[in-house]
A and B are shown apart, each in its own frame.
Chain A
Amino acid sequence: MLKIDHINTFYGNIHALRDVSIEVAEGEIITLIGANGAGKTTTLMSISGIAPPRNGEIVFEGKPIHHLPPHEIVELGISQVPEGRHIFPYLSVSENLDMGSFLRKDTAGIRKDLEYVYELFPILAERRNQAGGTLSGGEQQMLAISRSIMARPRLLLLDEPSLGLAPIVVKKIFEIIAKINEENRTTIFLVEQNANLALKVAHRGYVMENGIISMTDSAANLLANDDVQKAYLGI
């Protein structure tokens, strides 16, 4: 479904991604794990067109997308929940959700998806008229994920959804991630520092170090791998 083929991405003179290749099949949950500053977020930003690669190819469903502007990439069905949630602070909860469906025209489908996310996270329905910036961290993460669901993406990119959240909220968020993957057949590309958590929900994983993909395997194998255990699982 998504094929990242030897991309190199730069921030100014910093060579952030070096020859990165990742493949994602339809219906999969794949995870990209690695330390701080390894290039995980940059990978997602390259896919979304915010930090386009200098060379290499990104192909989504047979169509090269690495030269497209971000809004056209969203239109093709790739939605990102960025690190730090990025809720529009002065838009209400329901306006934030409206922004998720910004490019959609199917009014009936939008209404149905809105009911779906309110069912998924009833707290958002309660707070629908409240400004996004006044929500707690956990609620904001729920809103950020819901906003992306409102885009009805075929590929959902999630950047550090567990960051800074209480364990019980993290558990709930990860349940929802598995649920939307199963129920909607949404393909999920999950970036996480919490490797243990990520590898448990994912089917396959990639390990990134200093801008290079150093390892790839099924999630179960990575969980059992000695090096991964030492470096990322703290075992």
Chain B
Amino acid sequence: MVSPAPRFLAAPRNVAQRNGLDSMDWEYTAELFLGGLTRGSIYALIALGYTMVYGIIELINFAHGEIYMIGAFTGLIVTGVLTMMGWNEVAILVIAATVAMIYSSCYGYTIEKIAYKPIRNAPRLSALISAIGMSLFLQNYVLLAQTSDFLPFPALIPEIGWWKPYSHIISSAEIVLIITTAVVMILLNFLIKFTRIGKAMRATSQDRKMAMLTGVDINGVISMTFIVGSATAALGGVLIASHIGQINFYIGFIAGIKAFVAAVLGGIGSVPGAVLGSLVLGWTESFFTGYVSSDYEDVFAFIFLVCILIFRPAGILGRSDTEKV
């Protein structure tokens, strides 16, 4: 018997599953709203990497979902080791996330050097195929090096005692996820707007040749973009794995596709767009599941994407004129 493919995220409780509660009551709506916010935050952590890389080198980095998956695996290994040593949960979470971010950044950096840099001046299709190849390679590499089974991931974010009565609306793990994402977004915004490397990134994404002529080391900027994108994805990997409770080698695919949709929805290449697109996608899925049906959640998400792209091809915040000459 074939077991059904596991969902990327557990669906919010459906109307039918809630006995004796009026589906229109405020608590249910708040629950769906916050559930959507959590999903949106998760998508945003992954979508950032897609959108930043696209902004700089106009490549859809299909191996990005795999970076997220590798981040989750790294987190699991570190967690296992530290749990055996008897560390406390919060310390484990911080260290697992840090190690995962560093390790995944190395992967992101290396992937760019091996799979994308040598064909940077080739037609875009070549780079795209290289990205898909990289993605399959990494999936199978983890499959062989680890296992094809789902592995349990311990819940590292502790339930806060006094919050318990409200945790059916939003759990403390979800709050941690949302706050972490918000902090990452603020830091990233600061990096892009006010630092030297951020200015170089913006210049490179707007006019690569001119950035070179003003003295920007393009290779450095591209590497930095992959490092930052990989680190946020790995952070997402650890937090989400701890939230959902299990991982396998295939989680990067679903997560990557969803985050990619979110990035396109918001306007690929735009960092605020990726965040907005993620939130819109998260809320759309959450409310649709909550009020209509959880069976067609993904279908509805993609119909929504198609509609947005018909009426606003550049995405919500995308610039239609960024096509370079």
B212 within 8 A of A: yes
Query: What is the 8 Å Cβ interface bit string for chain B, positions 144-171, against chain A (1 contact, 0 not)?
Result: 0000000000000000000000000000
Within 8 A of B (CB), among A82-123: 82, 86, 88-91, 95, 98-100, 102-103
B262 within 8 A of A: no
A79 within 8 A of B: yes
Within 8 A of A (CB), among B180-229: 196, 199-200, 202-203, 206-207, 209-219
A127 → B minimal CB distance (Å): 18
Cβ–Cβ < 8 Å partners of B209 in chain A: 50, 82, 86
Closest A residue to B209 using CB positions: A50
Of A88, A90, A95, which is within 8 A of B210 by CB? A88
Cβ–Cβ < 8 Å partners of B211 in chain A: 88, 99
Cβ–Cβ < 8 Å partners of A71 in chain B: 212, 215-218
Q: A98-B199, A99-B199, A102-B200 are in contact. Are A91 and B206 (CB under 8 A)?
A: yes
B: contact size bracket: 10 to 19
> What's the A-B contact tally at a CB cutoff of 8 Å?
65
Of B196, B207, B219, B319, which is within 8 A of A86 by CB? B207
Closest B residue to A84 using CB positions: B325
Cβ contact within 8 Å between B199 and A74: no
Of A75, A82, A89, which is within 8 A of B213 by CB? A82
Cβ–Cβ < 8 Å partners of A75 in chain B: 215
Cβ contact within 8 Å between A99 and B217: no
Cβ contact within 8 Å between A88 and B203: yes
**Considering the chains assembled together, what is the distance between the CA atoms of A103 and B213 in angstroms?**
11
A80 within 8 A of B: yes
Cβ–Cβ < 8 Å partners of A69 in chain B: 217, 219
Chain B contact surface mostly? helix
Of B202, B219, B319, which is within 8 A of A91 by CB? B202
Closest B residue to A74 using CB positions: B215
Cβ contact within 8 Å between B202 and A50: no
**Considering the chains assembled together, what is the distance between the CA atoms of A48 and B211 in angstroms?**
12
A53 within 8 A of B: no
Within 8 A of B (CB), among A197-231: none
A147 within 8 A of B: yes
**Considering the chains assembled together, what is the distance between the CA atoms of A71 and B219 in angstroms?**
10
B40 → A minimal CB distance (Å): 26
Query: What is the 8 Å Cβ interface bit string for chain B, positions 98-129, against chain A (1 contact, 0 not)?
Result: 00000000000000000000000000000000
**Considering the chains assembled together, what is the distance between the CA atoms of A74 and B213 in angstroms?**
7
Cβ contact within 8 Å between B210 and A102: no
Of A49, A89, A90, A100, which is within 8 A of B214 by CB? A100
Cβ–Cβ < 8 Å partners of B215 in chain A: 70-71, 74-75, 102-103, 151
Cβ–Cβ < 8 Å partners of B219 in chain A: 69
Of A70, A88, A90, which is within 8 A of B212 by CB? A70
Which residue, of A75, A86, A100, has the highest number of chain B Cβ atoms within 10 A? A86
B325 → A minimal CB distance (Å): 9
Query: Can you identify 18 A-B contacts, CB atoms within 8 angstroms?
Result: A50-B212, A70-B215, A71-B217, A74-B213, A74-B215, A75-B215, A79-B213, A79-B214, A82-B210, A86-B207, A89-B206, A89-B207, A95-B199, A98-B199, A99-B199, A102-B214, A103-B215, A147-B214
Interface residues of A (CB under 8 A from B): 48-50, 69-71, 74-75, 79-80, 82, 86, 88-91, 95, 98-100, 102-103, 147, 151
Interface residues of B (CB under 8 A from A): 196, 199-200, 202-203, 206-207, 209-219, 319
Instruction: Sort A-B residue pairs by CB-CB distance and give the 7 closest, nearest first.
Output: A74-B215, A86-B210, A103-B215, A70-B212, A88-B206, A71-B215, A71-B217
